[in-house]
Amino acid sequence: MFEFYLFGLQRSGTNFAYDTLKMNFADIKQLNLLECPNDSPLWKHHHEPRAGFPNDAPVFAMYKNPYMWIESIKQRNAMDFNWSHTRQRDSRIKPMKLLGLNDNGTKNYREDSPNLARMWASHVQTWHLDNKYDHTVIRYEDLLVKDTLVEFLDKVQSKYGLTWIAGNKYKTPAPGEVINSLDFNHEMVDHYLKGQPTLIKQIYIDYVNEHVSDEIMEELNYKRVYETLKGKDSNTLLDSVKEMDQIIRGEKPPGRVTEIM
How far is 208 from 151, CA to CA, in rounded Å? 28
Which residues, in sequence order, are CB contacts of 194 under 8 Å at separation 6+? none
Q: Which of 78-87, 115-124, 160-169, 180-189 is predicted with the least confidence, judged by mean pLDDT? A: 78-87
**In the sheet where 59-63 sits, what is the strand order?**
28-30, 2-7, 59-63, 135-139
131, 61 contact by CB (below 8 A): yes
Per-residue pLDDT of 32-75, as tens digits, reads: 976 677 778 888 888 888 888 887 889 999 999 999 999 888 77
Taking alpha carbons only, the member of 51, 53, 50, 63 closest to residue 9 is 63
How far is 172 from 149, CA to CA, in rounded Å? 9
Q: How confident is the model at residue 174 (pLDDT cuts 50, 70, 90)?
A: confident
Mean pLDDT confidence for 185-209: 87
Taking alpha carbons only, the member of 99, 77, 135, 117 closest to residue 224 is 117
96, 248 contact by CB (below 8 A): yes
Burial class (CB in 10 A: 0-12, 13-18, 19+), 117: buried
Boundaries of every domain in the chain? 2-195
More confident site: 134 or 249 = 134
DSSP output for 161-182? TPEEPTT-TT--PPTT-STT-T
Q: What are phi and psi of 115, to 5 degrees?
A: -55, -40
pLDDT of 168 over the 50 cut: yes
Mean pLDDT confidence for 124-149: 93
